[in-house]
């Protein structure tokens, strides 16, 4: 069903725009409602509670949606049916129980990190991924960095509008600062630290440095992710490693170096220290210290 033939979805788009959600969240909420409309081939405003219950069962039993995916769908449809349509008495949302486990994230050893970063040849990808490991930034935060976000005097990086719309500052080393400055000098873009080179065939005839300097947008997240996938295959590290794995490595390796959990939590932009505690289960150093202490405790 085309979106223009469904006024309730258009109204939902307006409702979502009124909320203080991040742009990706707004887009995902509207997408969830469209998927429901496509499933039943009708205006979602005409659906009954029983039909919505059947849809949730379909997502869980047939589509095998993960807990995180179901949580987003539930929140989006709850906003639509309860707030937009006024079905405050619907109980289907309370009956959909989502238990989300917290599996331990994958963490690479320091030699593995060096190996995967070492095979990167394209300067923009190598510098960006090295920065992600050096600062624990999310890939979206890294590619959106502006030249003015670098504070050379205090050796800090200003992360603007991170997850949850919050700003934070993270420390960087003098060596990393020099590396970023050296990379910037290859393109000298007035705004973006990692400008997009463009991919149209006409643009490819222009030298890369000129394309970067004239870019009207930052480098894409997908380009960085694809570069990491190729480096992962070439380096032979764990096949499930992703760009986000570098963020986990940053936190775990800092903890092994004795940096406090509270500081690491601030650098990562976590809302709660409870989220960061998971890294204590991943540090070989702390585990070795605990094992040595247990040996001393034996009579």
Confidence of residue 290 (pLDDT cuts 50, 70, 90): low
279 is catalytic: yes
185 is catalytic: no
29 is catalytic: no
* Whether residue 3 has pLDDT greater than 50: no
List the CATH number of the domain containing 47. Answer: 1.10.150
Burial classification of residue 241, based on how many CB atoms lie within 10 Å of its CB (0-12 exposed, 13-18 middle, 19 or more buried): buried
Confidence of residue 197 (pLDDT cuts 50, 70, 90): confident
Q: How many residues are there in the chain? A: 299
At 173-189, the pLDDT tens digits run 999 999 999 999 999 99
At 249-287, the pLDDT tens digits run 999 998 888 888 888 898 998 877 777 777 776 666 655
Only one residue has tokens 């020099």, namely 178
Confidence of residue 4 (pLDDT cuts 50, 70, 90): very low
Residue 232 in domain: yes
Buried b (16+ CB within 10 A) or exposed e, 266-282: ebbbbeeeeebeebeeb
List the CATH number of the domain containing 282. Answer: 1.10.443.10
Closest by CA to 269, choosing from 117, 103, 138, is 138
270 is catalytic: yes
64 is catalytic: no
Q: Which of 82, 146, 163, 238 is catalytic?
A: 163
Q: Based on the domain organization, do 119 and 86 belong to the same domain?
A: no
At 201-236, the pLDDT tens digits run 555 667 777 888 788 899 999 999 999 999 999 999
Q: Which of 74, 156, 270, 286 is catalytic?
A: 270
Closest by CA to 146, choosing from 180, 186, 197, 182, is 180
Q: Based on the domain organization, do 57 and 135 belong to the same domain?
A: no
Q: Which of 134, 138, 211, 232 is catalytic?
A: 138
211 is catalytic: no
pTM: 0.69
Query: Containing domain of residue 247, as a range?
Result: 110-290
At 237-251, the pLDDT tens digits run 999 999 999 999 999
């Amino acid at each position: 069903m085309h979106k223009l033939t469904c006024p309730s979805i258009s109204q939902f788009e307006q409702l979502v725009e009124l909320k203080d959600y991040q742009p990706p969240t707004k887009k995902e909420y509207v997408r969830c409602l469209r998927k429901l409309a496509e499933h039943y081939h009708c205006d979602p405003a005409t659906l009954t509670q029983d039909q919505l219950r059947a849809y949730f069962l379909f997502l869980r039993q047939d589509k095998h949606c993960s807990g995180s995916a179901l949580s987003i769908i539930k929140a989006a449809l709850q906003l639509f049916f309860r707030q937009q349509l006024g079905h405050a008495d619907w109980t289907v949302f309370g009956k959909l129980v989502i238990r989300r486990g917290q599996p331990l994230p994958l963490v690479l050893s320091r030699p593995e990190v060096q190996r995967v970063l070492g095979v990167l040849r394209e300067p923009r990808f190598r510098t960006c991924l090295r920065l992600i490991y050096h600062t624990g930034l999310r890939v979206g935060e890294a590619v959106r960095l502006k030249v003015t976000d670098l504070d050379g005097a205090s050796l800090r990086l200003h992360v603007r509008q991170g997850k949850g719309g919050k700003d934070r500052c993270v420390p960087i080393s003098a060596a990393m600062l020099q590396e970023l400055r050296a990379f910037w000098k290859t393109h000298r873009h007035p705004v973006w630290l990692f400008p997009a080179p463009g991919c149209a065939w006409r643009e490819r005839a222009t030298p890369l440095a000129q394309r970067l300097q004239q870019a009207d947008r930052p480098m894409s997240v997908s380009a960085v992710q694809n570069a990491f996938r190729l480096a992962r295959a070439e380096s032979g590290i764990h096949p499930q490693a992703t760009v986000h794995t570098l963020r986990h490595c940053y936190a775990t390796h800092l903890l092994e170096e004795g940096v406090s959990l509270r500081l690491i939590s601030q650098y990562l932009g976590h809302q709660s220290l409870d989220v960061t505690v998971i890294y204590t289960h991943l540090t070989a150093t702390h585990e070795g210290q605990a094992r040595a202490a247990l040996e001393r405790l034996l009579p």
